[in-house]
Structure 1
Amino acid sequence: MNYIKQLNAFYNQLDFNPLSNNAILLWHSLMQINNKTGWKQKFTVAAKVITAKIQLNESVFKRARTELQEKGYIHCQSRSGNLAPVYEIIRLTIEHDCISNSTISDDL
């Protein structure tokens, strides 16, 4: 995932799909955690870790997480027992392979 492109796309998306401040804070935290994982498609992190990091109580955190899920910014899959949920940040950009324009003739 290209962090800068994702960040820019996120803020562009907010114009059409706004979020609460707490949801924005949570999204940034999840992006930072996902960066630490090396941009794995799916990653786990305990709610207690996130709530401590961004200083939200559990109910506010859950509302923000639900908001991100409902508006299509993340997927979150709960697991049984004391296992941390599995998160997936939805890519807001499409990354393409670059094609060099240097092969195009100047005669065109």
Structure 2
Amino acid sequence: MGYIEEAKAFDELLEFNDLSTPAVALWYALLNRFNRSGWQKDITVSISTLQAKTKLSPAGVKRARNQLKQAGVIDFTPRKGNLSTIYHFVSLVATREPQTEPHAEPQADPQPEPQADLQADPHGERNNKTRLDKTRLDNGKENIKKKSTRSKQFVKPTREEVRAYCIERGNDIDPDKFYDYYESNGWMVGKSKMKDWKAAVRTWERNSKQWNLFSAPAKKSNAVDLTKKMLEKYGGVKDADDY
């Protein structure tokens, strides 16, 4: 493993995963700490240290690391009191390499085997029905899991997340005006509770183009661009410390 290899693997992952700009900045801050530790599996890093490296608030650091954990690119164990959180290294290079293995299995395990079982077993038809019932049951469980995921309770964003998303979108929305507006009305859309704040930002985008509302200068950027800038900045430096 190495700094450059892990950063390149993360850059490829960003092409298929919608990670926020604060989450990307936090990942690089943690990668640098693991690099400086000699790639130890577990390290302790305080919230204040991560704040200094990412310029995020304590709540912003916690939200960003939760997003990274859900994406499977880091893991961590909080500790009580004033003890620093333990972060566990997750190598993206190592998790990417085994992906070629599943393609080799179907060639070594031909499909005629179930037919042989049916011929040898006088109750083959009954066994086949059992397999079908099990498949339907598994599919039903999967559908229930998807529905429960879709029905997750709305969690309001932080001001930093709204700013990061507006920058990522390169729009003309004033993120502070957007945040203050919905914070004041309890994050309601009309008479209904908001379900997706990012969709609300995109609605403000469309309205601003039609009526020139909510405008504020915004600099276009996105998480993938930030990743490439990080690579250019730290690519040749093993122990880069500042972001």
TM-score w.r.t. the length of structure 2 is 0.38
- 1:52-91 per-residue CA deviation (whole Å, 9 max, x = no partner) reads 2221111111110110011101001011221101102311
| In structure 2, C-alpha distance between the alignment counterparts of 1:23 and 1:56, rounded to whole Å | 10
Cα contact 2:76–2:88 (8 A) shared by 1: yes
Flag as ranges the 4+ runs of structure 1 deviating above 6 A.
none
The residue number in structure 2 matching 1:16 is 16
| In structure 1, C-alpha distance between the alignment counterparts of 2:58 and 2:49, rounded to whole Å | 11
| In structure 2, C-alpha distance between the alignment counterparts of 1:18 and 1:3, rounded to whole Å | 22
More helix by share: 2
The residue number in structure 1 matching 2:28 is 28
Give the share of equivalent positions with the same residue, in percent: 36
The one-letter code sitting in structure 1 at the alignment partner of 2:39 is W
The one-letter code sitting in structure 2 at the alignment partner of 1:32 is N
The residue number in structure 2 matching 1:2 is 2
1:71 aligns with 2:71: yes
| In structure 1, C-alpha distance between the alignment counterparts of 2:45 and 2:70, rounded to whole Å | 20
| In structure 2, C-alpha distance between the alignment counterparts of 1:8 and 1:65, rounded to whole Å | 20
Unaligned runs of 5+ in 2: 98-243
| In structure 2, C-alpha distance between the alignment counterparts of 1:2 and 1:40, rounded to whole Å | 12
- Displacement of 1:24 in angstroms is 0.2
The residue number in structure 1 matching 2:81 is 81
The one-letter code sitting in structure 1 at the alignment partner of 2:85 is P
- Displacement of 1:18 in angstroms is 2.4
Considering only CA atoms, is the larger Rg found in Structure 1 or Structure 2? 2
| In structure 1, C-alpha distance between the alignment counterparts of 2:66 and 2:94, rounded to whole Å | 24
- Displacement of 1:46 in angstroms is 0.4
The one-letter code sitting in structure 1 at the alignment partner of 2:74 is I
Aligned pair count? 96
Unaligned runs of 5+ in 1: 97-108
TM-score w.r.t. the length of structure 1 is 0.82
- 1:4-63 per-residue CA deviation (whole Å, 9 max, x = no partner) reads 111111010111222100000000000111111111011001011111222111111111
